[in-house]
Amino acid sequence: MLISRYSKPDFDPYGENSPEPEETLWPAPTATGPTSAVLSLPGSKSLTNRELVLSALADGPSLLRSPLHSRDSELMVEALRELGTVIEAVPGNGEYGDDLLITPVEELSGSTTIDCGLAGTVMRFLPPLAGLALGPTTFDGDDAARRRPMATTISSLRALGVDINDDGRPVLPFTVHGTGHIVGGEVTIDASLSSQFVSGLLLAASRFDNGLSLTHSGERLPSLPHIEMTIATLAARGVTVDSPATGQWVVAPGPIAAADVDIEPDLSNAAPFLAAALVTGGTVTITGWPNETTQIGARLADLLPLFGATVSRDGDRLTVTGGDGIRGVTLDLPEGGELVPNLVALAALASEPSTITGIGHIRHHETDRLAALVTEINKLGGKVTELPDGLHIEPAELHGGTWLSYEDHRMATTGAIIGLAVPGVQIENIDTTAKTLPQFTQLWHAMLGGHGA
Ligand SMILES: O=C(O)C1=C[C@@H](OP(=O)(O)O)[C@@H](O)[C@H](O)C1
Ligand SMILES: C=C(OP(=O)(O)O)C(=O)O
């Protein structure tokens, strides 16, 4: 296992002997009154990591304004540097750190090892770049990353002419033997377990000798908005992705344009804060909310009203106001897996039952999120049952206790939402929020102002 700067001590996600030393527990503040907060959030993980990749493949230097600085984006920056890309921090106007100036190299170089941490975007977006690089590149990551599916990335690149050694096990670690080019052409993949298999190929496809004709053949295709985000970021840099039919994409060979890009705030990371308005019967406003976006987090504006919230827009501000209690929901949400853990917190605090389906693929996120949610909520007295592709949540009186995070930032924030209403929730490894939002606890306390105990 590679150790990176944000790594935490190992623990067995579901083992009896998980270490829970006192000092790693974060007492989740319980709200003593309604929230009344205006917050601005750091940049989007998904946009930052796409733009970093595209900038490394582009035909000139690119500038990312207000990018995310978090574990996942740092891992992407470090990995691209390992492949030879020059990435410099330059002062900008963003509230959350420097801008990034990315200067691509003529030819990417392998002969290195890349630490993917637990970042799906690093492990699925960079193997094609390693194929375009000259020399072998070994990919590895956290222990939990070694459980995430990689077979589709590996088999699709092989089909496109890339030599990969995975010692017969299609998971991390594996080595891509880059030759400086990828033949490309036609390939059919099964992206049922992650949209990132599609995005990873599309991002680099125009740099393949013959471009790419990609077909998804599988029982479902999760997280479609993330594929639309990939297509939109490519279009903004002059690369057209044709989609002759659902689940088919064609990219012609050609350059990727350099660009100066403003990174939007991470709207999925707005979820715990906006959920807090519902839990406390208060208001939370997020600034910088884009008018148009491909981020799935934008759907919070129509999802939270289903739980009983009122949502309003005033220019670039989105405000969520809670009402009397929380309603149950029936949702099919294959497109929004990354929002699910935080929505399940609301369902667990609702006065009516909820069912959320279409989310079997979140078993393969940072942890098995269905199992983790069932385990942790039921430990606090909840009544959550796992379905073949989702969860059913019955209303229950919850009590305090230890909430394990499973190295999963969204499990950690889910525990924090529950803790607003349930005294005595202690969150193990709250620092795992650094994956996409290192400022989580500061922002959480700021949101509560004087209304947290
Ligand atoms: O491409 C991306 O940036 C992402 C795609 C989605 O992955 P899955 O399709 O694996 O759900 C999402 O859940 C993840 O947080 C980010
Ligand atoms: C699934 C997620 O992350 P990743 O990009 O590592 O897949 C997530 O952030 O919810």
Per-residue pLDDT reduced to its tens digit, 393-411: 999 999 999 999 999 999 9
Say if ligand 1 is within 6 A of residue 199 CB.
yes
- 219 marked among binding-site residues: no
- Show the tokens assigned to 315: 């220019």
**Tens-place pLDDT, residues 54-103:** 999 999 999 999 999 999 999 999 999 999 999 999 999 999 999 999 99
**Reduced 3-state DSSP string for 342-374:** HHHHHHHCCCCCEEEECCHHHHHCCCCHHHHHH
Q: What percent of the chain has pLDDT over 90?
A: 93
Same fold, 22-41+265-448 and 45-262: yes
Looking at residues 135-139, what average pLDDT do you find? 98
What is the mean pLDDT of the segment spanning 151-159?
A: 98
Buried b / exposed e over 310-329, threshold 16 CB at 10 Å, is ebeeeeeebbbbbeeebbbb
Closest CA to 66 of 233, 290, 263, 295: 263
Phi and psi at residue 437, to the nearest 5°: -150, 75
Per domain, the residue ranges of the chain are: 22-41+265-448, 45-262
Q: Where are the alpha helices (DSSP H) in 160-240?
A: 196-205, 224-235
**CA pair distance 264, 47, nearest whole angstrom:** 8
Which ligand is nearest the CA of 359, by number?
1
Confidence at 23, pLDDT banded by 50, 70, 90: low
Cβ pair 203, 234 in contact under 8 A: yes
What is the pLDDT confidence band of residue 18, given thresholds at 50, 70 and 90?
A: low
Q: Which of 352, 266, 343, 350 is CA-nearest to residue 304?
A: 343
Q: Which CATH superfamily is domain 22-41+265-448 in?
A: Enolpyruvate transferase domain (3.65.10.10)
Tokens of 38: 């205006």
CA of 435 to the centre of ligand 2 (A): 9
Best of 196, 368, 369 to mutate for ligand 1, by most ligand atoms within 8 A of CB? 196
The answer to whether the CB of 195 is under 6 A from ligand 1 is yes
Count, residues in the chain: 453
338 has catalytic annotation: yes
Q: What is the ipTM of this complex?
A: 0.99
Task: For domain 45-262, say whether CATH 3.65.10.10 is its number.
Answer: yes
